[in-house]
Structure 1
Amino acid sequence: MELLHFSEEQFQAAWGELDNPMISGDWELFTETMGIQIYRLYDKESGLYEYKIYGSLPDCPPELCADVYMDLEYRKQWDQYVKELYKVTFEKDHAICWEVKYPFPLSNRDYVYVRERQDLDINGRKIWVILAKSASVSQCPERSGIIRVNGYKQSLAIESDGKNGSKVYMYYFDNPGGMIPSWLINWAAKSGVPSFLTDMQKACKNYPHKKTHQ
């Protein structure tokens, strides 16, 4: 039995955003592209932004989308920024170690995180929720020349858009550390999220483990 890293309330909060986006107060619309709206909230402590993404992924059914998102081996094939990605087991649990390629002259970053997926039935609605956050695991020690990212948090909630695609909500925050200027981090977020979603759509179409329905 794996340890529980997330509460039922956290799963509920994630899928609740599909119906009622929580973007009041200081959340601001950052960019809108490809039917996706990206909102951001300034985090005074880090000087960085938290992000919320709302939109749809056409031609990517929700269960397939969740399977693709969870499949680490497949991620290595379609995500060009993955340097290393593997699972480590400790006690009765596991964590994921992920090294991300950064462009020269920046150092690569790595993440160690735990995640959980729940396939929910909410009054007949099928919703898939995946939560992830940074973890400290002795099996993934920090390495020289690579900057460890702490404070990584991500939530993903997806359901059918009523056609052959997915309605999507994603929350994202990380602090890449090091001496990267905030304008560059913000630029990466603005261009990186749409390109990630485009890659994800392609990955869904080409997924080798796709279930064939008779």
Structure 2
Amino acid sequence: MLKKLFFAVLLLCITFATASAQNKWTLKSDKDGIKIYTSPVENSKFKALRIECNFQSTLTQMVAALLDLKTRTEWIYHTKSIHLVKEVSPTDLYYYSEISLPWPAQNRDFVAHLVTKQNEETKVVTMDGPVASGLVPEKDGIVRVKSSLSQWVIVPLNKNEVKVEYTIAAEPGGNIPAWLVNMFASEGPTQSFKALKLQLKKAQYKNAHLPFIKNY
């Protein structure tokens, strides 16, 4: 067990070191166990976000909740709709999502390519979700997000606790007021992670079995 913990901590340190080398993260919020960092992005007026939080959850429980597309509207901030576009495998899928924005901004939508992997030694799970193009036609009145990189890193701390780090850097396109950007950079992650904590308590995730995920 000590060996597994060592590898998990080592990988987490490498992840943080890599991120620090590429981004200068500044802590913007630390409340309710949820830390929110921002970082400037080269050639962009929008900052990257990193959210960190510990959850009382097994690896399988967390991954099952994140992969359950049909319930993402229940906990992801301002998500209006979401559906599966293409499933290459249970760990490789494409999905469409529409984000609801308050007036006068137009809604945004995107197609993400979500790939889930687990390190055999550390048991750390990564879920990468860059945007994909060409799979869903653009819709009138909705601005298509054409540039976005996001990643979930789920590190097991013990059998029933994980540390989650979510990072995202996106170009929402069109004109967005500064107050709306600030709202999604602060209130959005906090509300989403609070809702995710409640989501994880549901029986379908506690009793989930994923053959491609090995628990700590």
Give the TM-score taking structure 2 as reference length.
0.78
Q: Aligned match of 1:19 in 13, 16, 29?
A: 13
Which residue in the other structure is 1:4 paired with?
A: none
Distance (Å, rounded) in 2 between the aligned partners of 1:45 and 1:73: 35
Q: Does 1:200 align with 2:210?
A: no
Counterpart of 1:190 in structure 2: which amino acid? S
After superposition, the Cα gap between the structure-2 partners of 1:37 and 1:90, relative to the gap in structure 1 and judged at 3 Å, is closer
The secondary structure found in structure 2 opposite 1:46 is: coil
Q: Aligned match of 2:52 in 54, 68, 92?
A: 54
How far has the Cα of 1:111 moved from its partner?
A: 0.8
* 1:6-155 aligned within 5 A: 18-20=12-14, 21-22=16-17, 23=20, 26-57=24-55, 59-79=56-76, 81-89=78-86, 94-122=93-121, 125-137=122-134, 139-155=135-151
Identify unmatched segments of 5+ residues in structure 2.
1-8, 210-216
Identity, % of aligned pairs? 26
Distance (Å, rounded) in 2 between the aligned partners of 1:16 and 1:98: 34
Distance (Å, rounded) in 2 between the aligned partners of 1:203 and 1:115: 20
How far has the Cα of 1:163 moved from its partner?
A: 5.8
How far has the Cα of 1:71 moved from its partner?
A: 1.0
Distance (Å, rounded) in 2 between the aligned partners of 1:189 and 1:45: 19
Distance (Å, rounded) in 1 between the aligned partners of 2:129 and 2:102: 25
How far has the Cα of 1:207 moved from its partner?
A: 4.7
CA contact (8 A) 2:77 2:188 kept: no
How far has the Cα of 1:209 moved from its partner?
A: 4.6
Query: Which 10-residue stretch deviates more, 161-170 or 18-27?
Result: 18-27
The secondary structure found in structure 2 opposite 1:121 is: coil
Distance (Å, rounded) in 2 between the aligned partners of 1:136 and 1:163: 38
After superposition, the Cα gap between the structure-2 partners of 1:27 and 1:104, relative to the gap in structure 1 and judged at 3 Å, is same
The secondary structure found in structure 1 opposite 2:158 is: coil
Counterpart of 1:26 in structure 2: which amino acid? K
Identify unmatched segments of 5+ residues in structure 1.
1-14
The secondary structure found in structure 1 opposite 2:206 is: coil
The secondary structure found in structure 1 opposite 2:173 is: coil
Give the TM-score taking structure 1 as reference length.
0.79
| Superposed CA RMSD | 2.7
Distance (Å, rounded) in 1 between the aligned partners of 2:199 and 2:87: 30
CA contact (8 A) 1:68 1:207 kept: no
Counterpart of 2:58 in structure 1: which amino acid? P
Counterpart of 2:41 in structure 1: which amino acid? D
Query: Which 10-residue stretch deviates more, 68-77 or 85-94?
Result: 85-94
